[in-house]
Structure 1
Amino acid sequence: MSLYRRLASQTSIIFAGRLFGAGVVFVVQALIARTWGPTILGEYLVIIATANLAAVAMPLGFQTIGTYFAAEYRAHARRGQLVGFLARAYGHIVLVFAALLVAGQPLLSAFGLGEGTVARHFLPVALLAFGTTMVFVNGAVLVGMKRPFAGFFADTLFRPMVVIAAFLGATAFVPDMEAAFTAMLWAVGCGYVAICLVHFGFVVATVRAVANDGPAAEGREARRWWRFALPWVLIALATDFFFDIDLLLLSSLLTREELAIFGVCTRVFSLLSFGVAAVYAVTMPDMFESEARSDRAGFNRKVGEANLVAGGLSVLLLVIVAVAGPFALMLFGPAFSAGAVPLVILCLALVLRSLLGPASLVLSVHDRPYASLPAVGLGIAALVGGNFLLVPRFGLMGAALAALFAISLWSGALWWTALKTAKVDVSILQRWRRTGENAALEPSVR
């Protein structure tokens, strides 16, 4: 099977799993609101957000580079270095988790949060954070080891199933509302830990299958891990939390109703962008194999095929959003129909980002991770400026146009940086140009 067909099939399955998991989470949140009331739902969302933020901090950035280094060490047959990397990543998790157990509640009390919902459910929250961060690291490594289904499905499928099972069990067997909510949190926390341990077993089995033709990890390699971790943490924050930053900026520029509408649009965009990101995550191990063999033609071909699949998927999602978006937004209430056009504009940004290619990934493959940071900073600055110029005059449309401008400028700057720094054209134009050159050569070959 050719690479682009494998990308299309694997990405479709992963994206379908993500949609199913997102639907399960949506249903659970709706059931919590209807069964226990909006106050309990608010507490639940605070707990999940707190656990997620703690999970991001626990590996000290190593979850953001797990796919990169797992793919590299697999391609170069260096199991010793991979084991050293994993020992450091999981060691961070264990140490930070222990510190959280010891100092977590005193810190909450020191900040006046000793009676809050997180403090009242501290141990389940800690278990949630531990299980979540383990799944982050496990998943990143498994994707880099060319096991994308095992890497993604623990988070996208099994964790949502644990949540809905915990809710149904708590409501069925615990009559008191507060006690049922507490039982649900304990069940979810223990379930997350069970998932992460099974997931970790897949990591161990996969790592054992890697050849070991290279030296074990040394101090120089550990310094390289940190050199990659810092820029990728910043890149991940600017990408994964781009619209969280945007919503904070817009909180003083939009009405609360407009902010809610735009928030729904950004959540839909984030879900759709996951499908595009999965294409490049699946491609990374193949890129490293070409780079390890110094096969520049193969490397460019794989980047081009990934762009073709990502671009085609983003265009398809744009068409679906344009047709079905207004009806989906109406499910939230009549006022949310105002978000239909802004949502289409956001999806245009996804198309442009896909067509310009995975520049940050390619820069890291060429050992230039810091080269991405100026473009990231330019995108955030453009977002801030665009919001203050466009939102007061155009409202929701201004917010969408500011995001489109920022993402387009950011993606274009990254493409230019990769072209000038790594001498690689990561855009889809590279594939079309190469196809044209091959077609022009055919007559002379004959």
Structure 2
Amino acid sequence: MSLHRRLVSQSTIIFGGRLFGAGIVFLVQAMIARLWGAGHLGDFLIITASCNLIAVAMPLGFHTIGAYFAAEYRARSERRQLGVFMLHAYGHILVALVLLLLAGQFVLGLVGQGGSIVAQHYVPVILLAFSGATVMLSGSLLIGLKRPFSGFFADGIFRPIILVAALVGAMGIANRDEGFDHMVWGAAIGFVVIALVQFGFTLIAWSAVPGRDTAVRPRESRRWWRFALPWMLIALATDFFFDINLLLLSQILGREELAIFGVCTRIFALVSFGVSAVYAVSMPDMFESEANADRSAFHRKVGDANMVATALSLVLFCVTALGAPIALQFFGPGFSAGAAPLAVLCLALVVRSAMGPASLVLSIHDRPYASLPAVALGIIVLFVGNWLLAPPFGLMGAAISALIAITIWSLALWAIALRTAKMDVSILQWFRARRAAALPVG
């Protein structure tokens, strides 16, 4: 099967699974708004954002490089080396879990957040973060081991099912606050179970890697850290961009506006996942080409993945623009105000896809830190944009601020990749390569 067809077929299956799971989460959020009000939905979204940000920090960036090194060690038949990597990565999560449970709530009190919604649900929040970190790490490793379905379905399908079960179990409680508390606790316990089951699948996939007797390189950990630390910051600012944005906007927008924007960002996250799935399917092949020093194949695979991702983002933008007004009605009449801001957010996905996977290419060229200035610029622009645009223009101002920030950092990353790696990762390169191939020789 050609790379184009495999990218489309596998990413379609993965996206379909994620769409199913996101549909469940969508209904859960709508039920929270209907049963307990927009205020509790805002609390739920703040808890989710906080859990995501804690989870991305717990593995110390090793979840962001898991697919890279798992693919490399599998291609080189270095099973023991992969085992040492996994021991370090999961160990970081366990140490962080213990520290957070022992001292985290005390630290929240010191910084004046002792009465926040996160502090009120602290233990389940930490359990949710632990499960999220474990699922992210296991999923990354499984992708690198060419088990993308096992890597994505735990988070995309099974965790949403657990969330439904937690909500159904809490619906019979008359008091809104108690019902919400029971739902959060039920989700936390269920998510931990899912994370442990997926961890078992990861161990099975690792045991199938050849090279049991290969020697372990003692200084390999230096290479891990050189990639992990910058990629933790990159992932924090990209994959969890809107979680950061939601916490920033919580100081500017009211609870109802925050709930509406939070729902829009969750829909955007679903749409952007379709694009991420394309790169997830193609990453192991890119890494193998780089490991085998096949530069032409590497450039071709990056271009093919970029073309599929950009075309998909355009389709998803059109679908979202048409379907968002109807979908948002499930949350209540007031949520229809998010339709136009959501369309603006989806324009950012088109821009990001067209500029290509610059951070990935920089890391493969051993320049992971080169992405950080562009990422920092994007966060600064987001902060300033929110401060200038959100107060006077509300939801639309917040959406335009996000679009400007994503556009600036995408262009900056493209320029850095072009200068540092000498490679144009934008969609224009794909068209230039196809035009050059079509020209007659001689």
Mapping for residues 44-443 of structure 1, pairs under 5 Å:
48-104=48-104, 106-107=106-107, 123-169=123-169, 184-212=183-211, 216-247=215-246, 261-387=260-386, 396-441=395-440
Tell me which moved more, 102-111 or 201-210.
Answer: 102-111
Q: Structure 1 residue 89: deviation in Å?
A: 0.7
The share of aligned pairs that are identical, in percent, is: 61
Superposed CA offset, 1:317-337 (max 9, x none) = 111123223333444455544
Say if 1:127 and 1:259 are closer, same or farther in 2 by CA, change over 3 A: closer
Q: Structure 1 residue 76: deviation in Å?
A: 2.8
Quote the Cα distance in structure 1 between the aligned partners of 2:81 and 2:236: 27
CA contact (8 A) 1:51 1:128 kept: yes
Q: Which amino acid in structure 1 is aligned with residue 130 of structure 2?
A: F
Superposed CA offset, 1:342-382 (max 9, x none) = 33232222112111110100111111100111221222333
Superposition CA RMSD, Å: 3.3
CA contact (8 A) 1:75 1:285 kept: no
Quote the Cα distance in structure 2 between the aligned partners of 1:339 and 1:40: 18
Please state whether the residue corresponding to 1:367 is helix, strand or coil. coil
Tell me which moved more, 395-404 or 157-166.
Answer: 395-404
Please state whether the residue corresponding to 1:307 is helix, strand or coil. helix
Task: Name the count of aligned residue pairs.
Answer: 442
Query: Which residue in 2 is equivalent to 1:4?
Result: 4
Say if 1:39 and 1:407 are closer, same or farther in 2 by CA, change over 3 A: closer
Please state whether the residue corresponding to 1:146 is helix, strand or coil. coil
TM-score (norm 1): 0.86
Which structure is larger by alpha-carbon Rg, 1 or 2?
1
Tell me which moved more, 14-23 or 199-208.
Answer: 14-23
Tell me which moved more, 56-65 or 86-95.
Answer: 56-65
Q: Which amino acid in structure 1 is aligned with residue 9 of structure 2?
A: S
Please state whether the residue corresponding to 1:167 is helix, strand or coil. helix
Say if 1:425 and 1:25 are closer, same or farther in 2 by CA, change over 3 A: same
Structure 2 residue 26 is matched with structure 1 residue 26: yes
Q: Structure 1 residue 389: deviation in Å?
A: 5.7
Say if 1:356 and 1:112 are closer, same or farther in 2 by CA, change over 3 A: closer
Quote the Cα distance in structure 1 between the aligned partners of 2:253 and 2:359: 32
Q: Which amino acid in structure 2 is aligned with residue 433 of structure 1?
A: R
Quote the Cα distance in structure 2 between the aligned partners of 1:393 and 1:157: 39
Say if 1:205 and 1:235 are closer, same or farther in 2 by CA, change over 3 A: same
Quote the Cα distance in structure 1 between the aligned partners of 2:116 and 2:245: 27
TM-score (norm 2): 0.87
Tell me which moved more, 31-40 or 316-325.
Answer: 31-40
Say if 1:245 and 1:202 are closer, same or farther in 2 by CA, change over 3 A: closer
Structure 2: which 5+ runs fail to align? none
Structure 1: which 5+ runs fail to align? none
Please state whether the residue corresponding to 2:219 is helix, strand or coil. helix
